[in-house]
Amino acid sequence: MSEGQRTAVYPVLSDGSCAYCLRGMPSRCLSRGLVGIVTDGGYAELVKVPASNLMPIGELDFKAAAAMPVNFGTAWNGLASRAKVVSGDTVLVWGAAGGVGYAATQIAKLLGAKVVAVVGDDKKANFVESQGADLVVNSRTQSVVEAVRTFTGGLGASVVVDHVGGDTWGASIECLARGGRMVTLGLTSGPKSEVDVRRVYQEELAILGTWGQSREDIQLVMKLASDGKLKPSIFHEFPLSSASEAHRTLESRDVQGKILLLP
Ligand SMILES: [Zn+2]
C-alpha cells in the first residue's frame, strides 16, 4: 500500500502468531477481533488499523466497497468456501432482504444454484426477486418447510443459510434434503433452539459454522462487484451523527439491503 491509495479494511484483527494464524486462517485466530462489531473504533471519521488489514479497492466506488466486506465476504465464505455450492444446489436463505441475505442470494445465483428466499413481509418480495430469488416465501403466512419441499419435488433444500438463529434453526434442519449442508453464520433472534437431532445423523446433514471471512473472500467479492457480477444494494445512507437513527431503522426490520453511515 502507498500513501493516498484507495483502500477498504479487512475487518478481522488477529495476532499473527497463534496456531491458526500460522496456518493462514486469521479469522480463526485465538485472540481475534472484528472492527466495528466486537472491537471498538469503527464508528469514527478516522479509523486506526494495522497496515496489514488494508486492502486496495482499485476503481470500485467507496460506498460499494463499504457495503461489501462483512455481508458479501461472510456469505461468500459460507456458501463458496464452506458449503461449496455448485450448479444444481437449491439454497434456502432466511432473512433474504437483509444485508447477509441479499448477498447470499446473489452469490448462490452466481454459483449456479436455485434460491428459495424467505422474507417476513410481502413488501420485500420484489426486492428479493430483483436479487435473483427463484421462489419467495413469506414465513409469517406460509410454512417454509412445506414451501421448500414442494419447490424441490419433496427432497428439500441442499443448502440452508441461517443467520437468524434461535427462531429458525429447527425449521432449517427440517428444510434440508438428505446430505444437505446448513451454513450458520450469525443470529438475530437469540442463541437457543430446539432441534430434532435424529434428522442430523439419519439424513447425514452437515452443520457448517461460519465466522467472518478471509481476506481472499473479500478481495474476490470486490473483484466480482468491479466486474458487475455482484451488486451491493444500499437501502439508506445516514451521516455518522445520525447513527442512532440508523440503528432504529435496522431494528424496525423494514430494511432491504444495506444501511451506510457516512463519516
Ligand atoms: Zn492468531
Residue 24 C-alpha to ligand 1 middle, in angstroms?
Answer: 9
Cell triple for 252: 424496525
Predicted pLDDT of residue 188: 86
pLDDT at 240: 93
| The three grid cell numbers given for residue 195, joined into one nine-digit string | 432441534
What's the confidence (pLDDT) of residue 1? 83
**From start to end of the chain, where are the E strands?**
7-9, 12-13, 33-34, 54-56, 90-93, 114-119, 135-138, 157-162, 176-184, 206-209, 234-239, 258-262
List phi, psi (to 5°) of 119: -130, 165
CA of 185 to the centre of ligand 1 (A): 20
pLDDT mean by block of 10 residues, the chain; 263 residues = 91 94 92 87 88 91 91 96 97 95 97 97 94 97 98 98 94 98 92 93 97 92 95 94 92 86 91
| CA distances from residue 13 to 3, 26, 79, 255 in whole angstroms, order as listed | 21, 8, 22, 28
User: For residues 89 and 215, what is the distance between their CA atoms, to the nearest angstrom?
Assistant: 26
The Cα–Cα gap between 134 and 166 comes to: 26
* Dihedral sign from CA coordinates of 21, 23, 24, 30: negative
Judged by DSSP in three states, 229 sits in: coil
* Same-fold call for 7-70+213-262 versus 71-209: yes
Round to whole Å and give the CA distance between 195 and 173: 7
Instruction: State the CATH architecture for 71-209.
Output: Alpha-Beta Complex (3.90)
Rounded distance between C-alpha atoms, residue 71 and residue 97, angstroms: 12
Task: Give the global pTM.
Answer: 0.94
- Cα(86)–Cα(108) distance, integer angstroms: 8
Per-residue confidence (pLDDT) for residue 194, from 0 to 100: 92
pLDDT of 116: 98
Distance (angstroms) between ligand 1 centre and the Cα of 28 equals: 7
The stretches of 39-196 forming alpha helices (DSSP H) are: 62-66, 69-76, 99-110, 125-130, 144-151, 169-175
Interval between CA 164 and ligand 1 midpoint (Å): 28
pLDDT, residue 255, reads 83
* Ligand 1 centroid, distance to 82 Cα (angstroms): 20
For the segment(s) 7-70+213-262, the CATH number from 3.30.230.10, 3.20.20.70, 3.90.180.10, 3.40.50.300 is 3.90.180.10
Helical ranges in the chain per DSSP H: 19-22, 62-66, 69-76, 99-110, 125-130, 144-151, 169-175, 197-202, 215-226, 243-251
**Ligand 1 centroid to 31 CA: how many Å?**
6
Given a contact cutoff of 8 angstroms between Cβ atoms, the answer to whether 27 and 214 are in contact is yes
What gap in Å lies between CA 256 and CA 29, rounded to an integer? 32
Number of Cβ within a 10 Å radius of residue 124: 24
pLDDT at 39: 85
Interval between CA 101 and ligand 1 midpoint (Å): 29
Residue type, 80: A
| Residue located via cell numbers 428444510 | 175
- C-alpha 95 to ligand 1 mean position (Å): 32
Show me where the domains of the chain are located.
Answer: 7-70+213-262, 71-209
CA of 20 to the centre of ligand 1 (A): 6
CA 21 to ligand 1 centroid distance, Å: 4
